[in-house]
C-alpha cells in the first residue's frame, strides 16, 4: 500500500535527478562545442534538436546565433533543418553566393554570418533528430579534414546526448528529457542575459541559475523563464542566493 508521502518524495527525487542530468548535459555540451569550434575552424556553433514537430536550439557557444536557428525554424528551411534528414553535410562557403533558403540568407547577412557548416548527428533515437551547426563571420573554403572533424564531433555529441538519456531513462525520466530539450532555448536565453549583466562566462551564468534554483527549490527551467520574463518586461532580480560566494567572472 502506498503511503501518502510516497508520491511527493518520488517527485522530489525525480526533480533532483533531472537537474543533475541537466547540469551534466550543460557542462558536456559547452566543453564539446567550444572544442569543436576551435578545431573545425569556425566562430560559433549551435545544436538543433527536433522532437516530433517541435524544434529548439539545445546548446550554443554564442547565444545571439539562436536567432539564426530560430529563423530557420520559422521559415521551415535552412541548412540546420536539411541535415536533420540526410547524412551529407550542408556547406555554405560564402553566403553572398548562396541561392537557397532566402529567409536564412537574409537573417545571416544581417547578423554578419558569411559561412556555415551543418552536419547530421547520428542517433539511435527514432523520435529525436539532431544537427550540429557551425557559423563563421568570413567566407571559408572547407577542407575534407575540417568536414571529417565536424562529423567526428557530431558522433561525440550523439554519445553525450544518448548517455544523458540513458541516465534519465534509468531513473524513469524520459518525459523530463523531452521537457528539458524544449526548455533549453529559454535557458540559453537566460544565460546570455546573465553573461551580459554580470560579466560572467557561460558556466558562471549557469551556476547563477543553478544556485537560484536550489535556494528557492524551483526547477531550473522555471527560474530561466522567470529571468527572461523579468528582463523582457524591464524588471530586475538578484540572482545571487544569500550566504553564497560569488561566481567566478570570465
**Distances from the Cα of 137 to the Cα of 92, 114, 134, 192, 241, angstroms:** 12, 5, 11, 20, 38
* pLDDT in the model for residue 140: 94
Mean of pLDDT values over 10-30? 64
Is 104 within a domain? Answer: yes
Rounded to whole angstroms, how far apart are CA atoms 43 and 121?
20
| pLDDT of residue 154 exceeding 70 | yes
Phi and psi torsions of 181, nearest 5°: -60, -40
Phi and psi torsions of 120, nearest 5°: -75, 135
Q: Which of 70, 27, 67, 47 is nearest to 153 (CA)?
A: 47
- The percent of residues in the chain predicted with pLDDT above 90, rounded, is 45
The confidence band for 170, taking pLDDT boundaries of 50, 70 and 90, is very low
* pLDDT in the model for residue 6: 43
In the chain, which ranges are continuous DSSP H helix? 6-40, 66-75, 79-82, 102-111, 144-170, 174-198, 202-216, 220-232
> What is the tens place of the pLDDT at every residue in 100-131?
999 999 999 999 999 999 999 998 777 889 99
CATH for 116 = 3.30.450.40
Is 188 within a domain? Answer: yes
The answer for residues whose C-beta is within 8 angstroms of residue 81's C-beta and 6 or more apart is 48, 50, 55, 72, 73, 131
Is 147 within a domain? Answer: yes
Long-range contacts of 151-154 (CB under 8 A, 24+ apart): 151/89, 151/119, 153/32, 153/35, 153/36, 153/39, 153/40, 153/119, 154/119, 154/120, 154/121, 154/122
**Mean pLDDT, the chain, integer:** 82
Is 241 within a domain? Answer: no
* pLDDT in the model for residue 9: 44
Q: Residue 131 sits in which domain range?
A: 6-232
The confidence band for 229, taking pLDDT boundaries of 50, 70 and 90, is confident
> Do residues 163 and 7 make contact, with C-beta atoms less than 8 angstroms apart?
no
Nine-digit cell string for 50: 527536433
| pLDDT of residue 221 exceeding 90 | no
> What is the tens place of the pLDDT at every residue in 39-74?
999 999 999 999 888 999 988 999 999 999 999 999
Is 247 within a domain? Answer: no
The confidence band for 246, taking pLDDT boundaries of 50, 70 and 90, is very low
Is 243 within a domain? Answer: no
Is 45 within a domain? Answer: yes
Is 25 within a domain? Answer: yes
The confidence band for 3, taking pLDDT boundaries of 50, 70 and 90, is very low
Domain count, the chain: 1
* pLDDT in the model for residue 58: 87
Q: Which of 3, 107, 23, 11 is nearest to 65 (CA)?
A: 107
Mean of pLDDT values over 123-142? 90
Amino acid at each position: 500500500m502506498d503511503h501518502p508521502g510516497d508520491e511527493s518524495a518520488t517527485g522530489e527525487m525525480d526533480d533532483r535527478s533531472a537537474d543533475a542530468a541537466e547540469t551534466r548535459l550543460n557542462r558536456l555540451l559547452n566543453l564539446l562545442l567550444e572544442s569543436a569550434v576551435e578545431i573545425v575552424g569556425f566562430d560559433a556553433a549551435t545544436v538543433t534538436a527536433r522532437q516530433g514537430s517541435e524544434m529548439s536550439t539545445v546548446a550554443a557557444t554564442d547565444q545571439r546565433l539562436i536567432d539564426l536557428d530560430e529563423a530557420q525554424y520559422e521559415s521551415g528551411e535552412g541548412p540546420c533543418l536539411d541535415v536533420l534528414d540526410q547524412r551529407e553535410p550542408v556547406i555554405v562557403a560564402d553566403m553572398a553566393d548562396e541561392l537557397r533558403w532566402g529567409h536564412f540568407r537574409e537573417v545571416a547577412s544581417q547578423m554578419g554570418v558569411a559561412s556555415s557548416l551543418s552536419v547530421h548527428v547520428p542517433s539511435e533515437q527514432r523520435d529525436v533528430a539532431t544537427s550540429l551547426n557551425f557559423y563563421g563571420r568570413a567566407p571559408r573554403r572547407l577542407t575534407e579534414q575540417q568536414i571529417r572533424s565536424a562529423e567526428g564531433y557530431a558522433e561525440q555529441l550523439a554519445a553525450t546526448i544518448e548517455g544523458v538519456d540513458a541516465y534519465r531513462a534509468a531513473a524513469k525520466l524520459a518525459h523530463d528529457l523531452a521537457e528539458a530539450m524544449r526548455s533549453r532555448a529559454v535557458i540559453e536565453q537566460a544565460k546570455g542575459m546573465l553573461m551580459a549583466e554580470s560579466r560572467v562566462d557561460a558556466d558562471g551564468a549557469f551556476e547563477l541559475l543553478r544556485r537560484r534554483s536550489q535556494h528557492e527549490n524551483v526547477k531550473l527551467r522555471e527560474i530561466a523563464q522567470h529571468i527572461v520574463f523579468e528582463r523582457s518586461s524591464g524588471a530586475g532580480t538578484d540572482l545571487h542566493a544569500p550566504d553564497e560566494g560569488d561566481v567566478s567572472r570570465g
